[in-house]
Amino acid sequence: MALEFVIVIAGVVIGFQIQAWAQDQEEKREEQAVLHRLLDESHEAIAYIDAEIATSVRSLNLLDQAVAALNSGTLGDLTQAEFVNGIWRSARYPALTPPRAVVDEIIAGGRIGLIEDPAIREALSRYQRSIDHYAQQLPYFRNLAEQPDQLGGAAFASVYRPDLPERRETRANFEMLASDDRFVREMTGSLYGQMAMISYRRAVRTSASNLCHAVAGDLERVCQASPMIMEVLPDPEDTAP
């Protein structure tokens, strides 16, 4: 009887162990599947962020050229259209919305405990915080910015252009704007806001890259994110005559 009891208990214990092992294996398979999806999404996110940063840098350079023209009092090599296009970038603060379905599934869905590696959990948390931080800065800079036509008033005019898709063209009286101290001051100050938002975007990119490398290392895959080397504004010495 005692031997039978021991056999029954041993069978129960072994059964629990087998069940625990099977559950552990299932959780590991699920973790690996999630991490592979997370790595693929991080590649997409980095490509998106890089494209957005490149667009922001081009916009900043256009704005910088327009501001330089205002401060010098002459358009120089800029055309009227390039000048108007440049100053219109002063109030442009777009959102940053990289692909994040997997990130949301892990964090909002309470599945972060599925990931064993603490380095990946930390990288994921930092990436999420960097995106949230960027979104939190947008209202401040958007509220601070004034539209150029509101600042310049009568110096701007909309002309009907049936040959254009938007059916209108905005024109600006450069001489009036260059002599308007408040307009020149506000446009010059807008450079700071645009550069600040680019720095926030680069912070998101850095955290996305860190996440990518952390996940890739665990999966023994390669993170496809290349180092980001991007000059925000040209060095004055490079543009000096």
DSSP class of residue 93 equals -
Distance from C-alpha of 68 to C-alpha of 184, rounded to nearest angstrom: 10
Distance CA 50, CA 209 (A): 11
**Which range is least confidently modeled, 7-16, 115-124, 130-139, 147-156?**
7-16
Name the pTM for this structure.
0.83
| Higher pLDDT pick, 62 / 8 | 62
Q: Average pLDDT, whole number, for the chain?
A: 85
* 197: its two tokens: 């938002």
Q: How confident is the model at residue 13 (pLDDT cuts 50, 70, 90)?
A: low
pLDDT at 2 over 90: no
According to the model, what pLDDT value does residue 240 have? 43
Average pLDDT over residues 87-112: 91
Name residue 12's amino acid. Answer: V
Distance between CA atoms of residues 177 and 81, nearest Å:
15
Say which residue, 211 or 227, is predicted with more confidence: 211
Among 168-177, 181-190, 202-211, 231-240, the minimum mean pLDDT is found in 231-240
Higher pLDDT, 197 or 17: 197
Structure tokens at 34: 């999630």
